[in-house]
Amino acid sequence: MEKKKALPILFAVMFLVMVGFGIIIPVLPFYAEEMGASPTHLGLLMAVYSLMQFIFAPMWGRVSDRIGRKPVMMIGIAGLSLSFFLMALSTQLWMLFAARTIGGFLSSANMPTVMAYVADITREDERGKGMGIIGASVGLGFVFGPAIGGIFSDISLHMPFYISGISSLLTFFVVMFVLKESLSAADRGQMERGRTPLRRALKGPVSILYFLQFFVSVSLAGLEATFAYFAAETAGLTTVQLGYIFMIMGFAGALVQGGLVGRLTKKLGEGFVIQLGVLISAIGFGLILFVDSFATAAIFLTVFGVGNGFIRPSVSSLLTKKSTTGHGSTTGLLSSFDSLGRIIGPPLGGLLFSITIGLPYISGIALSIIAFLLYRVYYNRSKNLQLEAT
């Protein structure tokens, strides 16, 4: 299989994975409530998945550097499928928690390994485009998944979990029979010999990029956790309207990642695109404070979504170019920081919202400014090191 043919397959794989994940999102709260879950239980049920991702994503990334991308992707997708079937069969709350824990542990292999695969098969000048395509597949999966979940939940609350399990199982077979390994035995040996210890990845200028992604993730997760309440209070929007708004935002972000990111990173570099994305996100946060109707909510949230869509693929691309820890280790650590932001963001956003409803978005502006300054620090330190080397 030619390398250029692998990207569309990876797009399809991650799209199907995220559709399966998205299908259960609108159903899980009601499903858990049937088993006696309180709002606190629901929060913990969401958090335990992200916690497993935070802990184990770096491990799976390192494993993929050693044994190859394909077997680790198969483990991750099989684990996701297993967790969906276990949730479908759950009759008590502890069983749901066990299924989410198993799913988080095994599926944390997916994102870092796919991004490492992209880094393996793309030239440096095409890296941003490749990462953007994967970002677009994730965004589109989240657009279609919840809609499908809502439809099948009318039949039975169990049904979306079975559909997700089957979807993931089919994806497993696509990877098994269609996707070829991106790392030869020689590549794996060379990557292992050339890799620095993971702890050293958090030293030097490149470590700053991980923290930049963390602050971006905190701000995004805080928005996702509070926007429904904010829009209902300021504009009287319904759940259905909010679903349409997030769908519009998802499409906009996917278009940006699938098209613009690659062109801009190739022409202007990842650094420019990261800074542009952070600034647009900050503007989006500011605009959200003025939401007063369906139209303004859709437009302002889309502005934010476009800005956010620039950031993650560009950070991934830049890190895989600059880091010396191996592509899998690098993307695994990035996924870990992203998950940590998703753990901290929702409770922080909720706390700020309880103080003043606009505070999560004001803090989003502040976090965006911090992310922008972190990039400037990274750039200046990298430049100084290059000058010292010459």
- Give per-residue pLDDT as tens, 254-276: 999 998 999 999 999 999 999 99
pTM of the predicted protein model = 0.91
Give the pLDDT band (50/70/90) at residue 4. low
**Which residue, 165, 142, 123, is CA-closest to 14?**
142
HSE (CB half, 13 Å, CA atoms) of 352? Answer: 22
Token reading at 293: 């109707």
Contact at 8 Å (CB) between 177 and 12?
no
**Which residue, 140, 128, 123, is CA-closest to 14?**
140
Question: Mean pLDDT throughout 336-359?
Answer: 94
pLDDT the model gives residue 14: 95
Give the pLDDT band (50/70/90) at residue 314. very high
Contact at 8 Å (CB) between 329 and 205?
no
- The pLDDT of residue 372 is above 70: yes
- Output the average pLDDT for the chain: 91
pLDDT the model gives residue 3: 62
Percentage with pLDDT > 70 across the chain: 95
Instruction: Note whether 1-194 and 199-390 share their fold.
Output: yes
pLDDT the model gives residue 146: 87
Question: Mean pLDDT throughout 10-35?
Answer: 90
pLDDT the model gives residue 200: 63
Give the pLDDT band (50/70/90) at residue 41. confident
Give the pLDDT band (50/70/90) at residue 362. very high
Give the pLDDT band (50/70/90) at residue 339. very high
pLDDT the model gives residue 190: 63
Q: d(Cα 13, Cα 137) in Å, to the nearest integer? A: 8
Token reading at 28: 């899980």
Domain definitions of the chain by residue range: 1-194, 199-390
**Sign, CA torsion 41/221/158/76:** negative
Q: Hunting for tokens 């708004």 — which residue is that? A: 245
pLDDT the model gives residue 37: 85
Contact at 8 Å (CB) between 90 and 35?
yes
* Second CATH level (architecture) for the domain 1-194: Up-down Bundle (1.20)
Write out pLDDT tens, residues 49-89. Answer: 999 999 999 999 999 999 999 999 999 999 999 999 999 99
Domain 199-390 belongs in CATH node 1.20.1250.20: yes
Q: Residue type for 87, please? A: M
Write out pLDDT tens, residues 186-241. Answer: 666 666 555 555 566 677 899 999 999 999 999 999 999 899 889 999 999 988 88
Write out pLDDT tens, residues 133-188. Answer: 999 999 999 889 888 888 888 888 899 999 999 999 999 999 999 999 988 776 66
Q: d(Cα 189, Cα 65) in Å, to the nearest integer? A: 9
Q: d(Cα 298, Cα 291) in Å, to the nearest integer? A: 9
Does 330 or 324 have the greater pLDDT score?
Answer: 330
Question: Mean pLDDT throughout 287-310?
Answer: 96
C-alpha distances (whole Å) from 212 to each of 139, 350, 373 are: 21, 22, 9
pLDDT the model gives residue 203: 76
pLDDT the model gives residue 21: 87
Q: d(Cα 266, Cα 252) in Å, to the nearest integer? A: 21
Percentage with pLDDT > 90 across the chain: 73
